[in-house]
Structure 1
Amino acid sequence: MTETTRFYDDFQPQHYDIFLDINRSTKKITGTTTITGMAKTPKIKLHQKNLDIDSIEANHQAVNFKVNDAIEAVELELAAGQQTIAIKYSAPLTDTMMGIYPSYYQVDGVKKQLIGTQFETTAARQAFPGVDEPEAKATFSLAIKFDEQPGETIIANMPENRVENGIHYFDETKQMSTYLVAFAFGDLQKAETTTKSGVKIGVYSTKAHQPKELDFALDIAKSSIEFFEDFYETPYPLPHSWQLALPDFSAGAMENWGLVTYREAYLLIDPDNTSLRTKLQVATVIAHELAHQWFGDLVTMKWWDDLWLNESFANMMEYVAVDALKPDWQTWELFQTAEVPASLQRDAIDGVQAVHVQVEDPAEIDSIFDGAIVYAKGARMLVMVRSLIGDEALRAGLKKYFSAHKFNNATGKDLWAALADASGLDVGEIMNSWLEQPGYPVVKANVVNGDLILTQQQFFIGEGKDAGRLWQIPLNSNYSVVPKIMSEKEINLGNYNKLRTEFGVPFRLNIGNNSHFIVKYDQQLLDDILKDVKQLDSISKLQILQDLRLLAEGQQISYAEIVPLLPQFSSSKSNIVSTALYRVMTQLKQFVKPETSEETSFKALMDQMSAEQVKRLGWQAKVNESIDDQLMRPSVLNASLYAKNPQTISKAHKLYLEHQNQLTELPASVRSFVLINEMENYGSPELFQRFFKAYQETSDAGFKSDLEAAITMTDNPDLIKEIITKFKDPDIIKPQDLRGWYRNVLANPKGEQAAWDWLRTNWQWLSDTVGGDMEFTTYITVTAMVLKTRQRFEEFSEFFNPKLNTPGLTREINMDTRLIEARVKLIEAEEKAVNKAINQIIN
């Protein structure tokens, strides 16, 4: 199914009057949508999906229509020109977390529901007929009736202006795309404030939560709106900005204009017991969605191929905003440890999508929401731009961009033009090589016949076809003779010894790690850098570990070469160095089979690497300790527990016993490790049941996540079977949380077979349950991240190859097949050498 033409070409809506009557008990919607717009031809199509259409009138005259489910449309004939089309229809409330759907939750053991919406990408057509394309911007007037109970609240994109005969009427919206329409109703509580410019800010949740859990989000939302108004020099154009936590939500959050929706875990925080890492995560998610209120909502991409215009920019701006609001949180370090490695890992697989990717088939649209590419890599591109042109030009260009395109649509070219005009630099020429091409280069730095030579070539993990791609690379060297941009295949920088003498420091590229490439130094250059590695700044140390790890993944060097270098980084007090170190250590696990002497040796290495830091940091936070120490403690404790350090295990058990009657009071930053330790080392069926009961009863999303991590670490085969029997029970494991449960059991060596069997047996059920949203393909992704034997590779290929032609799955299956195959070949090639290198360190 392919949309060869856009419906907007034939009919251009100007305004929607939408009346919906929603009955929760019958799970039925009845509605009338009246669309005023311009018909360019006598034959037009409107999007609809699963709507039962009763009648259609155009300019008060009945018209014939035909429903075409194959293209999710209703086709009708009318006179060309201005038309007012009224459609009466009915539809079901869905249970797929798309369209208009119920979220389920409990208060004091009583099951309740909250009705909410999720229309991105193409689910608005499940709620009302129209032209469900980003370019088809219109104004919307909502009128909603529902089986209202006393005390219930209804909210939407715009303020409510009146209630008549049980119908709630809302103010007309600004010009906006259909996928941004949103409303919700139910038994809600709220916290509210006002920005200095008069915008009302509200945070809403169910009453399953304590009111204090809304306060952090309220502060971040208010501060973010104020920051963006100043940074963009463009006022927030709506009277309010509501933030709503939905108990069931397939995405992380959604930027509906004026009514942003979130998973509860990404909005609500217990101010008395939340880790800094969680605060950082929640703050950046809120800032991301509010960045969208301008970049995505006020100005929207013309079509989904420019999705990056929305997501890449919001992804960068979340860090810009939170860094400005909370400067002591070291927010950009989170960018370096989260976004950067995600983009570099994914973008090295042959077949990966470009940031700008052509897409027509509605079934394919959700599949382009590749977080590592459209979000993380795209954000890196924009960080490169920001570094090249500076904040002053960036802000001036954005102001021009918003002014030119507000309440309308734009393309990537429009953004580059505005930034070029503000900076005097041809940003588009530089960035198109990154935007239009998949992958990224490795820049090889070699001393050849005395000269320092740089060459660029596409980097692959696994098999890859070199298509001769070249990028315009901001090299960011510490040697001033190096050009600002490398666009050619090779550069000769001249005699290396003279350069080394002139600049007096080891030669390096990509200072700051802001450009999207990695560096392979020859041995002479690498040795020069490593000679004084402890003198380098934290970003540089992270970068060395990052690049070496990736080069080893791509088999350009051996992991066995990296192992002897690791102790040089283990005593660093920088969280980002520690994070990069343990990412390498995690990758080394793939060379170690469970319950072998090799695993014993590797655990000894892990213990050796973490012991000093565990002793320094301990389990409890210290008064006035650094941000680095707060963020580093979980990773070093996790390493020590994996290593089976007896003192660490004992202290975790002691903490558990001290808080066993009130587990929520365990310090949030280490709570998951205490619970995991208890399950792994002191587990019993009784403990398993206790944790599961607590999981079902709590409304604290962070505590739920910690319990899930612990429960899925059981090594009892009967208990693993019991977990898997609950996968399809939404009253125990919500569909939004299922992927995490599945992935955790799969990653448990004792649970891998059972989880893998479950996925293959229940694939059709999974498709029916979550197949309508962008999370579905990620079940393939997380599976490929775990499987690592030749047998599993063959099973994966056998199961997924017949599904290669399924719309939305093709790219993911191809990439993940390559990924597992590369991992298997890497392990087979290097297993002996890596384990030998490990033994040489510990002995």
Structure 2
Amino acid sequence: MRPVRQTVTLELDPRREAFSGTTDIEITLAEATREVWLHGDALSVKDSAFLVGGNRVRTSALPVGDMLVFLPREPVGPGTVTLRVAYTGRAQARESSGIYREEEAGRWYMMTQFQPLAARRAFPCFDEPGFKIPWRLTLRAREEDGTYANAPVEAETHGPDGWKTVRFQTTPPLPSYLVAFAVGPFQAVDAGVAGQHDVPVRMLVPHGRTAEATWAAESTPRLLERLETWFGTPYPYAKLDVIALPGRQGGAMEHPGLITFGASLMLGPAEGDSLWRQRYFAQTQAHELAHQWFGNLVTPAWWDDLWLNESFADWLSYKVITQWKPDWRGDMRRIEARGAALVEDRLISARSIRQPIHAPGDIHAAFDGITYNKGAAVLAMFESWVGSDTFQDGVRRFLAAHAKGTATTHDFFTALAAASGKDVAPSFSSFLDQPGVPRVAMTLECPAEGAPRLELEQRRYLPLGSPGAGEETASWQVPICVRYAAKGREGRACTVLSEPTGTLHLDDAKACPDWVHPNAEGRGYYHAMLRGDALERLMRQSGKGLTVAERRVLMDDAQALVASGDLDVSQALTLASRLLRPEDADLVMGAAELVASVRDDFVPQASLPNRARFVQSLFGGQARRLGLMPRTGEGEDLRMLRPWLVWMVTKAGEDAQLRAEARELALRWLKDRRSLPMDSANAVLSAATAGGDAALHQHLLEALRATTEVRERELLFSALGGFHDAPLARASLELLLAPDVDTREALPLLFRQFEELPTRAGALDFLTSNFEALRDRLPRDIAPWLLSTGGFFCDTESRERLATFFAPHASAVEGGERALAQSLERVDLCIAQREALRPGLERFLSRY
């Protein structure tokens, strides 16, 4: 039984929760059938029948979980039949999946988000990615509401009742999760045409916000054209609308012809916009546009191959951004994402990139940093191994072979092997099909006779306190490339480490190298541990000869090796100071991340002043020179760096001068929003609130009540979460349950209190006392976040409390059991590392 095509007609009014629809689903049946099962969740079937050769076979419908079983009065098939269903459903407000509604400035909008399992809440269907069929949509809506869908409009008629009927062209074959539509008072911004087929491009925005779409309209066509060039084929759809969805949802979704974005990510003020937002939008848009080929044109046959969508889109977005804006250093963003993946992948409870799917919760769990960040890092490693041109050829072969259909990991390996002449499957699979990170130890040997060499040894990286201790024997086929310098000449050597141990000969080195970098260009997905004096050789050079990416990779490795007990914390912090270059924003941020990885929980109370002096010695002078306000002619890198430096120096460095300046600027910004650009306002508010008093808290509350502007509210909620004073912190938390507050927008407040040591316990008290109320006010896909808050703790008493309280709730929240398991594992790791690191940390900080 397979669907052939589907037609859907919906009557939608964003002001009403109820909607109605009819659908005709053409189905091929291999044999005479007495029951047909379709996905259908929270739908009320009013009438249904099978149409067979001009005859109508009466049919009853029975809901079973999130399925509908249709029972014809007589068998239907074999052959092709049409199932016609009339039904009603509900479009809930403050949701973020299915058909849902949002209000902005007194106007109502209706939108969709079906990935992964929510198309079944809009219409009965075959709601699995392997069923890829043409769709024909018709929307009936009020005259004043705009209507938008994947395909261009084919016809539009207007009735005397103030309603219109808009019929859209039939789509190319799509899985149900990529069907999309929107209804409401959106306004269009023409972004011209783009690409080889002169595809029309529009930005669709909530009423009155057209001026905020300038950056989106400017950047989208340029990114699309670069992707066409890389893929070697035109954009595969008839139009490109990019729609800013009102409300509090973030992120984006790659629907062909109708890419959706949370409005706060897509839209920015004409003046004083955030550089962080602009770059993040461009990076995200490059990702969504890459999906038009990877995911839309060729769709994974099942959710276990989701990485064929998300990993590829992330990996390619870094490449395209680097081509378009080289000064943005897209490759450094790749390194940062790789670092985030390595942290997540150290958990025993981490999942594989290609994880078997056994239940709906497994599908939701697949949309995580392992799929996105680790997947992209592994792709970058294998691209480097086979060569970028060869890899591109393999991708093009893969897409050509499976265009408009579905594909699997095996299909991709086949295409890459054909392009490269290498059987990539065994090595690639060793990273896709098991969790964890290889830790590759390297020992430099310089014999009197013969070339220098590196003796290699691999095992699974595990931090102190890991429940997997003693199980480090997992092995990978690891592509390894190193760079080195000997007698003024640089060289490069590569191998694949397939066994627990191996040797990499530095055949071109004419002498014992002055230094060896263990991960050339930061392309390898492994932690490198340099034995002997190899790390000291690198530090003596202060990073001379290394790329910025290679310096950052050393910092990431240092963080990991401190956590595993393989590197003394004093060596890691010394490394940060040696590799830091104040003139390079990415290196300053990398050093700040390395220093921040030594959590407040690790630092004894008596050593906090010493820690503050150490932070001041690294970053204080630069932070004060940079200041809190941007200067005329200042480069974008410095504007991007300022929030990091201010955060580090006011928080860990306890800089009283900057805190006082921040308070003055915060009060000025509360009176005049034009006094600070968005990036600076974020830094200023964060710095001002840690030691903030009741007066500042009251000013922030008044500002929150007075504004409906989404970005301002984001800043204000985050700032209100930064107060350390217990009564003020509690007053901020109460906003999460206020009747006039959308709990989704206030969540950053809660998480900020969990991040801060002084407010963590109070935040947990609030959460445990109000868990059910908070869960009920959040969309179902966000509720698991509440269980992840436990991961901020670092003591046994809190761990026991977390386990006892959350265990009964975890099974009732989709994905909750995994979220809780990872939270508790993070607590265990923190406790073990705190005990192990404190003596060395005290010795190091005693110098300051």
Q: Does TM-score exceed 0.5, indicating one fold?
A: yes
Is the contact made by 1:533 and 1:541 (CA closer than 8 Å) also made in structure 2? no
State the Cα deviation string for residues 252-306 of structure 1 (Å, max 9, x = none). Answer: 1111111111111221122421233222111101111111111111111100000
Distance 1:13 1:351 in 2: 38
Structure 1 position 247, deviation (Å): 2.0
Cα separation, 1, equivalents of 2:351 and 2:524: 19
* Contact persistence 2:37–2:70 (CA under 8 A): yes
Q: 1-side partners of 2:590 and 2:648: how far apart? A: 13
- 1:202 deviates by 1.0
SS for the counterpart of 1:293 is coil
Which residue in 2 is equivalent to 1:30? Answer: 20
Question: Does the 8 Å contact 2:600/2:757 carry over to 1?
Answer: no
Q: Distance in 2 between matches of 1:491 and 1:610?
A: 41
The aligned runs of 1:759-798 (5 Å cut-off) are: 759-770=767-778, 772-773=780-781, 775-784=782-791, 786-798=792-804
The reply to whether residue 411 of structure 1 matches residue 415 of structure 2 is no
Cα pair 1:481 1:493 within 8 Å, conserved:
no
Distance 2:504 2:127 in 1: 54
**Alignment CA distance shift 1:592-1:208 (3 Å):** farther
What is the deviation of 1:708? 2.1
Give the one of 744, 751, 761 matched to 1:753: 761
Tell me the secondary structure at the aligned position of residue 521 of structure 2.
coil
- Offset of residue 467 of structure 1: 5.9
Query: C-alpha separation between the residues in 1 aligned to 2:810 and 2:690?
Result: 39
Equivalent residue number for residue 370 of structure 2: 373
Alpha-carbon distance between aligned partners in 2 of 1:717 and 1:149, rounded to the nearest angstrom: 52
Separation in 2, partners of 1:489, 1:592: 34
Q: Does 1:40 align with 2:40?
A: no
Partner of 1:52: 44
- Which residue number corresponds to residue 520 of structure 1? 529
CA distance in 1, matches of 2:801, 2:155: 60
Distance in 2 between residues matched to 1:400 and 1:427, nearest whole Å: 15
Structure 1 match to 2:715: 706
Q: Which moved more, 1:649-658 or 1:663-672?
A: 649-658
Per the TM alignment, residue 319 of structure 1 is displaced from its structure 2 partner at its CA by: 1.2
Q: Deviations over 1:387-414 (max 9, x none)?
A: 1233322332222222211111111111
Q: Deviations over 1:682-724 (max 9, x none)?
A: 5334x32432343455455443332222111123433333322
Is 1:464 equivalent to 2:457 in the alignment?
no
- How far did residue 455 of structure 1 move? 0.2
1:813 and 2:813 equivalent?
no
1:472 CA displacement: 1.6
For residues 141 and 511 of structure 1, do their structure 2 counterparts lie closer, same or farther at Cα, with a shift above 3 Å needed? same
Answer with 514-523 or 797-806: which moved more.
Answer: 797-806
Aligned to 1:190: 188
CA distance in 2, matches of 1:456, 1:368: 27
Confirm or deny that 1:160 pairs with 2:169: no
Decide whether aligned partners of structure 1 residues 783 and 427 sit closer, same or farther in structure 2, where only a CA change above 3 A counts.
same
Match of 2:179 in 1: 181
Provide the aligned C-alpha RMSD in A. 2.5
Q: Give the secondary-structure state (helix, strand or coil) at the position aligned to 2:828.
A: helix
Paired AA for residue 230 in structure 1:
T
CA distance in 2, matches of 1:431, 1:53: 47
- Once the two structures are superposed, what CA deviation does each residue of 1:559-604 show, in whole Å capped at 9, x if it has no partner? 244234443245532222212211122122334569x332222222
Relative contact order, higher structure (CA 8 A, sep 6+): 1
Q: Alpha carbons of 1:390 and 1:626: their partners in 2 closer, same or farther (altered >3 Å)?
A: farther
CA pair 325-782 structure 1, distance change in 2 beyond 3 A: farther
Cα shift readout 1:611-648 (whole Å, capped 9, x = no counterpart): 22124423333455445433322211222212232332
| Cα separation, 2, equivalents of 1:128 and 1:435 | 35
CA displacement at 1:771 relative to structure 2 = 5.6
Task: Give the deviation of 1:660 after TM superposition.
Answer: 4.4
The structure-2 alpha-carbon separation of the partners of 1:696 and 1:74, relative to structure 1 and needing over 3 Å to count, comes to farther
Q: 1:720-751: CA deviations, max 9, x gaps? A: 3332222134742352x343222012223443
Instruction: Give, in whole Å, the separation in 2 of the partners of 1:754 and 1:647.
Output: 29
User: Contact 1:238 / 1:258 at 8 angstroms: preserved in 2?
Assistant: yes
Match of residue 450 from structure 2: none
Aligned length: 815
Amino acid at match of 1:201: V
Are residues 260 and 678 of structure 1, via their aligned partners in 2, closer, same or farther at CA, if it must alter by over 3 Å? same
Q: How does 1:93-132 map to 2 (within 5 A)?
A: 93-95=91-93, 96-106=95-105, 111-132=106-127
Distance 1:324 1:444 in 2: 34
Note the C-alpha offset of 1:501: 5.7
2:844 match: secondary structure: helix
- Aligned equivalents of 2:439, 2:415: Cα separation in 1: 30
Alpha-carbon offset, residue 781 of structure 1: 3.0
The structural deviation recorded for 1:251 is 5.0
The CA distance in 1 between the partners of 2:389 and 2:845, in whole Å, is: 50
Query: For residue 587 of structure 1, what is the amino acid of its counterpart?
Result: S
In structure 1, list runs of 5 or more residues that go unmatched. Answer: 1-10
User: Structure 1 residues 776, 348: CA separation in 2 closer, same or farther (over 3 Å shift)?
Assistant: same
What is the distance in 2 between the residues matched to 1:507 and 1:331?
25
User: How far has the Cα of 1:313 moved from its partner?
Assistant: 0.5
Structure 2 Cα separation of the partners of residues 470 and 682 of structure 1: 51
- Which of 71, 75, 78 is matched with 1:76 structurally? 71
1:529-678 to structure 2, matched below 5 A, reads: 529-535=538-544, 536-592=546-602, 596-642=605-651, 643-656=653-666, 658-678=668-688
Equivalent of residue 473 in structure 1, options 446, 464, 478: 478
When normalised by structure 2's length, the TM-score is 0.91
**Which deviates more, 188-197 or 453-462?**
188-197
Once the 2 structures are TM-superposed, how far is the Cα of residue 112 of structure 1 from its aligned partner? 2.2
For residue 484 of structure 1, the aligned residue among 495, 503, 508 is 495
Q: Answer yes or no: is the 8 Å Cα contact 2:186–2:204 preserved in 1.
A: yes
**Whole-angstrom CA distance in 2 between matches of 1:113 and 1:662:** 30
The one-letter code matched in structure 2 to 1:419 is L
**Structure 1 residue 553 displacement after superposition:** 1.4
Q: 1:500 to 1:790 in 2, by over 3 A?
A: farther
Give the partner amino acid of 1:72.
Answer: M
**2:789 touches 2:823 (CA, 8 Å); kept in 1?**
no
Letter in 1 for 2:458: Q
Q: Give, as a single letter, the amino acid of the residue that structure 1 aligns with 2:784.
A: T
Match of 1:715 among 719, 724, 729: 724
Q: Distance in 2 between matches of 1:627 and 1:389?
A: 35
Structure 1 residue 121, shift from structure 2 partner: 0.5
Query: 1:84 Cα shift?
Result: 0.5
Q: Is the 8 A contact 1:726 1:733 kept in 2?
A: no
What do the CA deviations read for 1:449-487 (whole angstroms, capped 9, x no partner)?
A: 977421000001323152632112121112568542111
1:5 corresponds in structure 2 to none
Deviation at 1:243, TM superposition (A): 1.0
CA contact (8 A) 1:476 1:509 kept: yes
Q: Does the 8 A contact of 2:743 with 2:778 survive in 1?
A: no
Offset, 1:805 = 4.8
Question: What does residue 399 of structure 1 align with?
Answer: 396
Distance 1:585 1:825 in 2: 19
User: Residue by residue, what CA displacement relative to the aligned partner does 1:216-241 show, whole Å, maximum 9, x if unpaired?
Assistant: 11122111221111211121122211
Q: Which residue of 2 aligns with 1:275?
A: 274
Say whether the 8 Å CA contact 2:298–2:404 is kept in structure 1. Answer: yes
Counterpart-to-counterpart distance in 1, 2:678 and 2:250: 24
Q: Which amino acid aligns with 2:151?
A: M
User: Is 2:445–2:454's contact at 8 Å kept on the other side of the alignment?
Assistant: yes
Q: Distance in 1 between matches of 2:729 and 2:67?
A: 41
Partner SS, residue 131 of structure 1: coil
Query: Compared with structure 1, are the counterparts of its residues 819 and 734 closer, same or farther at alpha carbon in structure 2 (3 Å cutoff)?
Result: closer
Amino acid at match of 1:398: V
Cα distance, 1:358 vs. partner? 0.7
Measured in 1, the distance between the counterparts of 2:817 and 2:654 equals 41
Change (3 A) 1:434 1:697: farther
Unaligned stretches of 5+ residues in structure 2: 448-452, 485-490
Distance in 2 (alpha carbons) for counterparts of 1:524 and 1:490: 20
Q: Tell me the distance in 1 between the aligned counterparts of 2:297 and 2:194.
A: 19
* Equivalent in the alignment of 1:3: none
